[in-house]
């Protein structure tokens, strides 16, 4: 009886030490960090180079590399702790390391969000005082494709007509997408 009690107490002490240690290590939460290595070069940096840099710092983890950037910038995204991010930032060739935040979508209805009515009239007739060739200079138009989140209200088919009978496709399961997510608003074409 005394031996089993001693073993039980020892187990509790070790288990408590494990919890304290794992809590200390997890104090700085893991997250995705962007490792920026400067402008894209002519030859570009490869996924292998990024993996080598990661493995030189991370001895404990596989599959930390999330994405390698090859166009526009040189760098990569990786799952790191704050301490690991600081360690990678000290490497030569690394310009900066910063967290990759998750942004929540503000709207899927830009006109309403920008407080424009749908009755906006745009005059496309040429104005004698303007130079048409200079219209659009210094304007950047970007499209941010964040994919879809079927659970979002944006993709609800509430109050919509059912899928038309003329539609002859089938909803197909894909990676991270169940066929049950298809509805009158989300259609997966063949």
What pLDDT digit, counting tens, does each position of 104-126 carry? 776 666 666 666 655 656 666 66
Distance, CA of 161 to CA of 177 (rounded, Å): 23
Reported confidence tier of residue 34, pLDDT bands at 50, 70, 90: very high
Distant-in-sequence, close-in-space partners of 111: CB < 8 Å, separation ≥ 6: 117, 118, 120
Q: What is the pTM of this model?
A: 0.45
Q: Where are the domains of the chain?
A: 29-99, 106-118+146-190
Pick the most confident of 86-100, 119-133, 144-158: 86-100
Asked if 36 and 97 touch (Cβ cutoff 8 Å), the reply is yes
Distance, CA of 54 to CA of 62 (rounded, Å): 9
Q: Is the dihedral of CA 93, 96, 100, 103 positive or negative?
A: negative
pLDDT reading at 73 higher than 60: yes
pLDDT at 189: 45
The two beta strands, 31-39 and 96-99, are antiparallel
**For the domain 29-99, what is the CATH code?**
3.30.70.80
CA 84 to chain centre: 19
């Amino acid at each position: 009886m005394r031996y089993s009690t001693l073993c039980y107490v020892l187990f509790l002490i070790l288990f408590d030490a494990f919890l304290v240690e794992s809590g200390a290590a997890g104090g700085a939460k893991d997250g995705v960090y962007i490792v920026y290595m400067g402008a894209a070069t002519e030859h570009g940096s490869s996924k292998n180079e990024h993996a080598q840099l990661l493995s030189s710092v991370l001895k404990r983890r596989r599959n930390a590399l999330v994405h390698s950037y090859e166009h526009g910038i040189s760098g990569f995204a990786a799952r790191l702790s704050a301490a690991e991010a600081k360690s990678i930032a000290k490497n030569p060739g690394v310009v900066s390391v910063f967290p990759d935040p998750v942004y929540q979508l503000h709207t899927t209805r830009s006109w309403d969000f920008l407080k424009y009515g749908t009755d906006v009239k745009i005059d496309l007739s040429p104005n004698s005082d303007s130079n048409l060739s200079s219209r659009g200079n210094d304007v950047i138009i970007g499209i941010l494709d964040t994919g879809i989140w079927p659970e979002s209200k944006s993709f609800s088919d509430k109050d919509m007509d059912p899928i038309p009978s003329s539609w002859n496709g089938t909803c197909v399961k894909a990676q991270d997408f169940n066929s049950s997510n298809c509805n009158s608003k989300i259609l997966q074409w063949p």
